[in-house]
Amino acid sequence: MRKSTLSRVLALTLSVMLVLTACGGNTANNEPSGTNETPGTTETPATETGSEPIKDLVISKVLTRELETFNTLYSQRAEDSENLTNLVDPLLEVDTYGKLVPAIAKEWGTEDGGLNWTFKLRDDVKWVDINGNEKANTTAWDFATGLEWIMNFHKNDSNNTSMPIEMIKGAEEYYEYTKALSPEEGKALTAGEGSKFLEMVGIEIPDDYTVIYHCITEKPYFDTVATYNCLYPMAQAMVDELGGVDGVTAMNNENMWYNGAYTMTSYIQGNEKIFTKNPLYWDKECDLFDTVTIKMVDSNDVAFQLYQSGELDYVILTESNVKTINENPNHEFHDYLVPDVPSKYSYQFHFNFQKNKEDGTPDTNWNTAIANTAFRKAWYYGLDLKEYYKRTNPITPMVCENNFYTMKGLVYNSKGTEYTELVRQQLGLPEQNGENMVRLDKAKFEEYKKQAMDELTALGVTFPVEVDHYISASSQTALDSANVLKQAMSNTLGDDFVKLNIKTYVSSLNKEVITPKLQSIALNGWGADYGDPQNYLGQETYGNDNAYYSGHYSNINFMTEDTEATKDLLAAYREYTRLVEEADAITTDLDARYDAYAKAEAYMLDNVLILPLNYSIGWSLSKVDVTSRMDAMFGIQNEKIKNWRTNKDGYTTEQAEKLEAEYEAGK
């Protein structure tokens, strides 16, 4: 799916000799969201370039993508997992076509339609320290320890619990059991033989190198979960060495254990990371860099300057860089513009229904307004984002248009129909035309705007309603994009209706903004953790402690029925949740399952519980071959720096086109 998209875009670009830039938002600041890493190997020859491959890769990430935890089990942020996936390995990984392939598990399967899954592990996977010294073997018990850690309320703060609860027998019961314990009692639990965990939860360890998962119902897609954090391993010996739960929570690159392709031998927060090839890595046939250096930069404009000076091997291009290079045939990089990998993320506006002011008191004006259905529908039918898309794609901005919640290409029914096409049909939306946003409707916008203003004025709401949007204080790119969004809202929704306030955070969006509930909107994306719509739609269900957006962004789980508007909003969320649960109950007929999910997603969009924003489609200058990267619409493996081809001289547009053709021919 990814590379097919690249082929179509590349063909269009070459035919008109124009280029696109990265299209997408990273949480609240609209930095390009996909990886800031680049493929390459230490041994694989560069493709017909006459150039040697790179052995020590140097790449960049914007400061807003700094990691916040070294615990893979705890992370639910792409900013964390894109680093940690290189340090700790899971049961399975994916190939360049997104197909599941062995990793720590050498064999796997189900004999009963997905009710029970058996994974046979390699016996040569080593845990090592930062310097590559052996600590222990990676065994089946480490996967039991990892799952216990996630399902233990007092160890993992409920992070990554939704998938095991949805799928694995006894997982929810164990979570509730630990929740009722004191912190001391909960933290003392383990997954060893005879443990309460093994007694309650559907995971079986018949020997040191076999793991069996018992599902609640048939889960034919369960093996796709094996690429995601919730089924990653953790060594109990490491927990003991670090002094228990609190030690693991505070662990860093110097004292954590590794079993992945690299160890992080240097970490200077906000400045630089160095990955060093793991000398005991189990995959002896793969190609790795000797080192990967990640430089943290203020913006991709700074990264471009470093690429120009030869200090980086890859850069995602901004709007201004694309224009500068594309419009000058004599520019040194004019013939080196290459398509980057479109990310697997679908981006949306996420509304905060329980917003606070900076003094901690409720923002009643915003909370009352956003609970009103007509207010949200006015946004849906009226907010034209074309100018906003031009910030990252000044040539063909409408390739960024997104009208759905679930990412395109995740699943297909038995007739080959892609899932979001089912949603489009449910909504009655016309097909995208590449010219204008197809969901816009001037008459409906004006109708809902008037209705909202009449209803809300009667409730004491003052207009324009102030919309607080937070961006990184250090990012000029984020500020420029926010100003374009502000103008788009002014031009299309009207200054009499809403006013966007651009506010900033210093270092952590989560700690400074999301946790204290200061934002009105968050521009955020979701990439599937496994291959099923439930992973998207389940994040928005009402009353579910483990629904990521319901508990962290929309805060709908904390809403009370104190007004008619909130009653209507909660009724919509309850109906949406019912539809999602109804779809999830269909386990043996995937066509019926996808149809039911499409109905639930269409209901969500029709009630504008979220507002679709964009897709991320990037262009770059690169000394790497993006077709050599792992590629799937689920899991965290796409960012693993393994078996990547490189060219020290950089790939030309012509070479990129040839590599793409070779990739397509290899399908």
| Residues 21 and 98 both lie in one domain | no
Q: What is the predicted pLDDT for the residue at 42?
A: 33
Residues 459 and 604 placed together within one structural domain of the fold:
yes
**Residue 206 falls inside a structural domain:** yes
Instruction: Output the pLDDT for position 562.
Output: 67
User: Which whole number is the average pLDDT over 285-312?
Assistant: 95
Q: Is residue 23 a contact partner of residue 616, using CB atoms and an 8 Å limit?
A: yes
In angstroms, the CA 623 to CA 636 distance is 23
Local confidence band at 30 (pLDDT 50, 70, 90 cut-offs): very low
**Mean pLDDT (whole number) for 522-528:** 91
Q: What is the pLDDT of residue 395?
A: 74
Residue 37 contacts residue 273 (beta carbons within 8 Å): no
Identify whether residues 333 and 350 lie together within a single domain.
no
Q: Is residue 255 part of a domain?
A: no
Please count the structural domains in the chain.
3
* 373 occurs within a structural domain: yes
For range 472-494, the mean pLDDT: 94
Instruction: Give the pLDDT score at 27.
Output: 36
Per-residue pLDDT, averaged over 424-433, amounts to 96
Please report the sign of the dihedral spanned by the C-alpha atoms of residue 457, residue 461, residue 466, residue 467. negative
Q: What is the mean pLDDT of residues 502-510?
A: 94
| Residue indicated by tokens 């599937």 | 528
CATH number for the domain that contains residue 117: 3.90.76.10
Among 271, 294, 295, 303, CA closest to 477: 303
pLDDT band at residue 494, thresholds of 50, 70 and 90? very high
Structural domain contains residue 77:
no
Which range has highest mean pLDDT (80-84, 341-345, 529-533)? 80-84
User: 323 falls in which pLDDT band (50, 70, 90)?
Assistant: confident
473 domain residue, yes or no: yes
Q: How confident is the model at residue 174 (pLDDT cuts 50, 70, 90)?
A: very high
CA distances from 37 to 100, 313, 626 (A): 22, 9, 10
Residue 654 reports pLDDT greater than 60: yes
Under the banding of pLDDT at 50, 70 and 90, the label for residue 76 is: confident
Same structural domain for residues 596 and 620? no
pLDDT of residue 397: 84
Q: Are 647 and 51 a contacting pair, CB within 8 Å? A: yes
Residues 148 and 33 in one domain: no
Mean pLDDT of 85-89: 98
What's the CATH code of the domain at 526? 3.10.105.10
Using CB atoms within 10 Å of the CB of residue 206, give its burial: 0 to 12 exposed, 13 to 18 middle, 19+ buried: exposed
Instruction: Report the pLDDT value the prediction gives residue 11, as an integer from 0 to 100.
Output: 39
Instruction: Look at residue 374 and tell me whether its pLDDT is greater than 90.
Output: yes
Structure confidence at residue 4 as a pLDDT band (50, 70, 90): very low
Condensed to tens digits (0 to 9), the pLDDT of residues 429-461 reads 999 998 999 999 999 999 999 999 999 999 999
Which CB contacts under 8 angstroms, 24+ apart, belong to 421-424? 422/594, 422/595, 422/598, 423/598, 423/601, 423/602, 423/605
Beta-ladder partners of 59:
294
In a domain, 394, yes or no: yes
Residue 230 burial (10 A CB sphere; 0-12, 13-18, 19+): buried
On whether both 107 and 223 belong to a single domain, the answer is yes
Residue that is last in its domain, among 224, 249, 274: 249
Give me the pLDDT at residue 50, please: 52
Q: Which helix (H) or strand (E) holds 116?
A: strand 116-121
Residue 564 lies in a domain: yes
Percent of the chain having pLDDT more than 70?
Answer: 92
Domain CATH for 267: 3.40.190.10
pLDDT given at position 363: 97
In a domain, 78, yes or no: no
| Of 74-83, 376-385, 527-536, highest mean pLDDT | 376-385
Which of the two residues, 466 and 34, has the higher pLDDT score? 466
pLDDT at residue number 16: 30
pTM (two decimals): 0.77
Confidence band for 162, pLDDT divided at 50, 70 and 90: confident
- The domain boundary, picked from 249, 281, 305, lies at 249
119 in the same domain as 8 = no
Strand pairing report for 498-505 and 465-472 = parallel
Tokens of 402: 């997104």
Say yes or no: 396 and 483 in one domain. Answer: yes
List Cβ<8 Å contacts ≥24 apart for 102-105.
Answer: 104/138, 104/233, 104/259, 104/282, 105/211, 105/226
From residue 74, alpha-carbon distances to 89, 158, 167, 251, 613 in Å are 15, 9, 19, 12, 27
Whether residues 337 and 362 share a domain: the answer is no
Say if residue 326 is in the same domain as residue 377: no
**Going edge to edge, which strands form the sheet with 521-526?**
521-526, 346-351, 611-615
501 lies in the same domain as 545:
yes
pLDDT tens digits, residue range 589-636?
Answer: 999 999 999 999 999 999 999 999 999 877 899 999 989 999 888 889
**Chosen domain end from 229, 249, 269:** 249
For residue 294, give its domain range. 2-68+261-343+616-665
What is the pLDDT at residue 319?
85
For the ranges 44-58, 340-354, 566-580, 652-666, the lowest mean pLDDT is seen at 44-58
CB contact at 8 A, 15 and 23: no
Q: Which of 660, 623, 661 is nearest to 645 (CA)?
A: 623
Q: Using 50, 70 and 90 to split pLDDT, how confident is the model at 320?
A: confident
Residue 107 identity: E
Smallest CA-to-CA distance from 395 within 2, 653, 21 is with 21
Residues 268 and 305 in one domain: yes
Residue 144 has pLDDT above 80, yes or no: yes
Per-residue pLDDT, averaged over 655-664, amounts to 91
Q: What is the mean pLDDT of residues 291-304?
A: 94
